[in-house]
Amino acid sequence: MNSRSNAMARPPVKGVLIHYHEIALKGKNRGFFLKQLEANLLQATSDLDCGSLRRPAGRLFLEMREGTSWEVLRQRLSRVFGIANFAHAFMMAPNLELLAKLIEEEVSDRSFRSFRVAARRAFKTFPQTSQQINEMIGARVQRICGASVDLTNPDLTIYIELLPAEAFVYFEKLLGPGGLPVGTGGTLACLLSGGIDSPVAAYRMMKRGCRVVFVHFYSQPFADRTSQEKTIELARLLTRYQFASRLYLVPFGEIQQEVVSRVTGRLRVLVYRRLMLRIAEQIAQKEGAQALVTGESLGQVSSQTIENIAVIEQASTLPILRPLIGMDKDEITQQAQQIGSYDISVIPDQDCCSMFLPRQVATHTTHHEVEFVERPLDLDRLTAQGHAAAHSLELSFPG
């Protein structure tokens, strides 16, 4: 038997047909991108008892077994960046008669008043045109269901994709999360507070293919454990998109106390933030991270005026990425709700940056001013102290 008659003999296989984003696939990056997407898919579904992952031209097909739950699988795939769309599909031989039979069987269990057939030939070598296939299958469906054809707003769409060695049939196309596979964009260190913004910032960078190491500063013994617990929950939630995370928890209370004793009130928040960046940078270097990420958004709070952002930034030699800089709070909140981080972020806690601050915080600071007030501090020692006291936590998903 040649490979084509082999394919003919195979019964249809149930699974998920996955289409990936085209943008990154052009040129030399294609293999690298795909390999990472495949690895991420296998990791995201590692506990679900799926079958093999196949690579039909320009697509991926993950086989499902009897016990594989579609509901769970669908949730998992909705968090694998790089997937443009996916569908619960049958894979079978590219034979029109077999296709028609399978479709007849499948539609006879469904109730719909109108339908359309959307056939697509990935290669134009198939003897019939897409239109001829639509008409032939459409007539068979009409004969057994009596439903009418509606090309613009049908109750049911029957999707058919034809490749030289296989065909796919499905009835619902689901949107994937888009973006690029995590692991294709380098490593970043994200300053993760327990607030609303920074988890969204981390999410957006993961969506661009980056692995994110999390760094959280907490004010013990001056605050309770809430901010740490919230941040662990947030990191756990975000780990569902990158499958393995490291979270650094940095005790910042004693460092703040020293700042309070030597720096006047109005500039303290900038001094805290600059110390955070210095410590985060050391952690980033240890982790091989190429840039820092924050949840800053221009003008949202007094420390986020362009002057203050510039002054804060000078404390770091690494680039600082601020994916939310041009977003307003409503947009960020909406995204936080979509990700599921919002409900964790709004649990009341004491953010360490709001501790020991006067009512009025400087909004237009200069580099000179902040360097002047930092003079009594031994910055190298404080940075080393924070770095040395940091402890890390490993998180993984699934499991």
Among 45, 134, 193, 242, binds Mg ion (CB under 5 A): 193
CB of 208 to ligand ATP, least distance (A): 17
Q: Judged by CB under 5 A, does residue 179 bind Mg ion?
A: no
Contact between 298 and 386 under an 8 Å Cβ cutoff? The reply is no
Residue 217 contact partner, candidates ligand ATP, Mg ion, none, CB within 5 to 8 A by sort of partner: ligand ATP
CA quadruple 319, 323, 328, 334: dihedral, nearest 10: -150
**In terms of C-beta density within 10 A (0-12 exposed, 13-18 middle, 19 or more buried), how is residue 54 classed?**
middle
Cα(53)–Cα(67) distance, integer angstroms? 17
User: Between residues 98 and 346, which has the closer beta carbon with respect to Mg ion?
Assistant: 346
3-state secondary structure of 80: coil
User: Between residues 198 and 282, which has the closer beta carbon with respect to ligand ATP?
Assistant: 198
CB of 141 to Mg ion, least distance (A): 56
DSSP string, 329-389: HHHHHHHHHHHT-HHHHTS----GGGTT--S---SS--HHHHHHHHTTS-HHHHHHHHHHH
Residue 301 contact partner, candidates Mg ion, ligand ATP, none, CB within 5 to 8 A by sort of partner: ligand ATP
CB of 375 to ligand ATP, least distance (A): 24
Residue 182 contact partner, candidates ligand ATP, Mg ion, none, CB within 5 to 8 A by sort of partner: none
Neighbours of 367 (CB within 10 A): 11
Which residues are at the interface with ligand ATP (CB under 6 A)?
A: 191-193, 195-198, 215-217, 276, 294-296, 300-301, 303-304, 351-353
Among 195, 199, 209, 323, binds Mg ion (CB under 5 A): 195
Q: Judged by CB under 5 A, does residue 231 bind Mg ion?
A: no
Residue with tokens 């952002």: 309
Cα(317)–Cα(278) distance, integer angstroms? 9
3-state secondary structure of 317: coil
Q: Judged by CB under 5 A, does residue 68 bind Mg ion?
A: no
Interface with Mg ion: number of residues (CB under 5 A): 3
CB of 195 to Mg ion, least distance (A): 4
Between 307 and 346, how does the x/- string for binding to Mg ion read (CB under 5 A)? Answer: ----------------------------------------
Footprint (CB under 5 A) of Mg ion, residues 342-371: 351
Output the CA angle 202-206-211, nearest 5 degrees: 95
DSSP 105: H
User: Between residues 60 and 321, which has the closer beta carbon with respect to ligand ATP?
Assistant: 321
Residue 352 contact partner, candidates Mg ion, ligand ATP, none, CB within 5 to 8 A by sort of partner: ligand ATP
Residue 365 contact partner, candidates Mg ion, ligand ATP, none, CB within 5 to 8 A by sort of partner: none
Residue 238 contact partner, candidates ligand ATP, Mg ion, none, CB within 5 to 8 A by sort of partner: none
Contact between 165 and 7 under an 8 Å Cβ cutoff? The reply is yes
Longest Cα–Cα distance of the chain, Å, equals 87
Strand order, beta sheet including 291-293? 320-321, 291-293, 187-191, 211-218, 244-251, 391-396
User: Between residues 50 and 223, which has the closer beta carbon with respect to ligand ATP?
Assistant: 223
Peptide bond into 199 cis (omega under 30): no
Residue number with the smallest Cβ distance to ligand ATP: 195
CB of 261 to ligand ATP, least distance (A): 20
Stretch that binds Mg ion, among 21-29, 177-185, 191-199, 379-387 (CB under 5 A): 191-199
Which residues make up the interface to Mg ion (CB under 5 A)?
193, 195, 351
